[in-house]
Amino acid sequence: MIYDAAVIGAGVVGCAVARELSRWDLKILVLEKELDVATGNSSRNTGMLHAGFTYKNGSLKAECAVEGNQEFDLVAAELSVPFKRTGKLVVGFTDHDRENILKFRENGERNGVKGIRMLETREEIEAIEPYAGGNFAMYVPSSGILDPMQYTIALAENAAENGASFLFGAGVASIDRPGDGDLWILHTEKGDFSSRWVINCAGAFSPMVSAMLGYPEYYQKGFKGEYYVLDKKAGKYLSIPVYPAPNDKGGFATHATPTVDGNILVGPDSYLTEGREDYANRRDRLDSLFKEGSIMFHQMKRDYFIRNFAGIRWKNCDEKTGEVLDFILEADPEKGRSVNLVGIESPGVTCALPLARRAVQKILDRQEKEGKPLSPNASFDPCRKVPRRFSEMTMEERKKAISENPDYGQIVCRCENVSRAEILRAIHNPLGVHTLTGIKNRTRSMMGRCNGGYCQTRITKMLEEELGLAPEDIRYQRENGVIFTGKVRGEA
């Protein structure tokens, strides 16, 4: 089969591109090297819907962040993803802090960020968040929080419902365009695929794919950051992201951010790494992050620790000066039918859909120019319907849900109150993902304070039963990440 468009990478950008492409009558294939969407940096971040006040005026980052921010109420409603427009506080203590904050205010206003205002007194700050520090603050009402994993999953599921195909465990090893012709051949671990268009959404590996397509292998630097996830019990102490005043370069020190589910994230710190997937937490970093985090968030207690994770912002940089550059979004007609997205790091989640629209526009323009305009997908539905979570229902809604489907009455995960109905839906997800972390990221089971101590054994059993899998076929997250070596006794 010849595809019309092959998207490389199922991170938030790849899934947004697939979703926007699925508005058109196209055969779409998303190739992902891992076994699920959003296993890389799409999910390894703070989950902010950025307002866009820090990015250089006129940059793609600024333009797309503001656009993505403004439309997100509609996007969240269409895709049924949790989202809170919390606003953000940037707090300061000194005159120097004030100077830096005011620079951002001015920049933000130039970028089109609306409603920014200064809070000059403690009373004004406390009216918004009593636990926030600072003598004065900048309040940015348009900032919000979302779950980047749920969001990416939603984009992918909506794309799949509108006809896009997803293939996991299919890392692209090399790409050919025989005779510089109209067709690309993508060589993957799962075989070869032909496509008329290729869109590079390979995230951490986007420079390598860029080179495979004939574009430069852009220079990048990896800024790694580590996080603590804190118990929901700490959630009551913070209702809005509170950031310290930025430093002179516009960077923020460690901060605390509430998640849309009610946890608190403390982090990230920032240091350089070479490893494209160096997601390991480092002991020295966790120790210093704990100390720094305690300054910004006074409820930083060990009793609240749930998890750690790390992410890497692969920034396009000037090789000589080290200066951080903008996102790259390009489609060079000389290089076949391709769209190249490189270095989409923070604020990539906020920018994903605006970038996807721009990428698709490049395809539409070229098709138009070639006299082969695309026709719309007549059955496209922008909405993804998902049943509500048991944990978010009122008692009355729970009664009704259980009477309609008794599986809602079986609580599988006690920490997050996830019902059997939700686990079953996740096991039979539209993308065909069946890793344990896939179930986790879709339901919040195993994400609570017991880390799956109670529910993990039930969920692996359900995976075996529902999908007819052998014990050796149950994977934690990756291809060789088996959970069982076999049975204890009896037939192997």
Partner 1 sequence: MKYADVVIVGGGPAGLAAAVRLYDMGIRDILILEREHSLGGILRQCIHDGFGLTRFGVSLSGPEYASRFIGEVEKRQIPYITDTTVIEITRDKLVTAAGEAGLLQVQAKAVILTMGCRERTRGALAIPGTRPAGVMTAGVAQAYINLQNRMIGKEVVILGSGDIGMIMARRLTLEGAHVIAVFEVMPVASGLPRNIEQCLNDYGIPLYLSHTVTDIKGTDRLESVTISQVDDHMQPIPGTEKEYACDTLILSVGLIPENELTLGAGASLDDHTKGALVDEFYQSDIPGIFAAGNVLHVHDLVDFVSMEAEALAEGAAAYVREGSLPECLVSVTAGDNVGHALPQKVSGERDFLLSLRPRRPMQDVRLKVSQGENIILERKMKKVLPAEMIQLKIRKEKLSREGSITVSISQ
Site residues (vs partner 1, CB under 8 A):
228-229, 233, 277, 279-283, 285-286, 290, 302, 305-309, 390, 395, 398-399, 402-403, 406-411, 414-415, 417, 419, 449-454, 456-457, 460-461, 471, 475-490
Q: Where are the alpha helices (DSSP H) in 112-168?
A: 122-128, 148-161
Q: How far apart are CA 208 and CA 475, in angstroms?
A: 28
In terms of CB distance, is 63 or 231 closer to partner 1? 231
In terms of CB distance, is 187 or 233 closer to partner 1? 233
In terms of CB distance, is 365 or 472 closer to partner 1? 472
Cβ 32 to partner 1, closest distance in Å? 16
- Name, in order, each residue with C-beta under 8 angstroms of 444's C-beta and a sequence gap of 6 or more: 261, 389, 391, 413, 416, 418
Cβ 439 to partner 1, closest distance in Å? 14
Going by C-alpha positions, the residue among 151, 150, 136, 148 that lies closest to residue 227 is 148
Q: What are the DSSP calls for 87-144, one per residue?
A: -EEEEE-SHHHHHHHHHHHHHHHHHT----EEE-SHHHHHHH-TT---SEEEEETT-E
Q: How far apart are CA 183 and CA 211, in angstroms?
A: 17
Q: How far apart are CA 24 and CA 357, in angstroms?
A: 12
In terms of CB distance, is 139 or 279 closer to partner 1? 279
In terms of CB distance, is 164 or 265 closer to partner 1? 265
Q: How far apart are CA 458 and CA 180, in angstroms?
A: 53
Cβ 397 to partner 1, closest distance in Å? 10
Cβ 385 to partner 1, closest distance in Å? 23
Q: How far apart are CA 240 and CA 167, in angstroms?
A: 38
Q: Where are the alpha helices (DSSP H) in 120-193?
A: 122-128, 148-161
**Neighbour-count burial of 194, counting CB atoms closer than 10 A to its CB (0-12 exposed, 13-18 middle, 19+ buried):** middle
Q: How far apart are CA 206 and CA 200, in angstroms?
A: 6
Distance of CA 465 to the CA centre of its chain: 30
In terms of CB distance, is 21 or 447 closer to partner 1? 447
Cβ 491 to partner 1, closest distance in Å? 10
Cβ 290 to partner 1, closest distance in Å? 8
In terms of CB distance, is 59 or 477 closer to partner 1? 477
Q: How far apart are CA 431 and CA 24, in angstroms?
A: 20
Contact of 101 with 406, CB cutoff 8 Å? no
In terms of CB distance, is 211 or 469 closer to partner 1? 469
In terms of CB distance, is 142 or 273 closer to partner 1? 273
Rg (CA), the chain: 23
Cβ 297 to partner 1, closest distance in Å? 15
Cβ 84 to partner 1, closest distance in Å? 23
Cβ 483 to partner 1, closest distance in Å? 5
In terms of CB distance, is 178 or 486 closer to partner 1? 486
Q: How many CB atoms lie within 10 A of CB 335?
A: 17
Cβ 227 to partner 1, closest distance in Å? 11
Dig out the tokens for 129 from the structure.
């968040």
Cβ 489 to partner 1, closest distance in Å? 6
Q: Where are the alpha helices (DSSP H) in 147-194?
A: 148-161
In terms of CB distance, is 114 or 461 closer to partner 1? 461
165-167 and 338-342 strand pairing: unpaired
Cβ 405 to partner 1, closest distance in Å? 10
Measured N-to-C along each axis, helices 420-427 and 436-443 cross at an angle, to the nearest 10 degrees, of 130
In terms of CB distance, is 253 or 402 closer to partner 1? 402
Q: How far apart are CA 346 and CA 323, in angstroms?
A: 16
- Pairs from 482-487 (Cβ < 8 Å, separation ≥ 24): 483/436, 484/460
Q: How far apart are CA 464 and CA 475, in angstroms?
A: 11
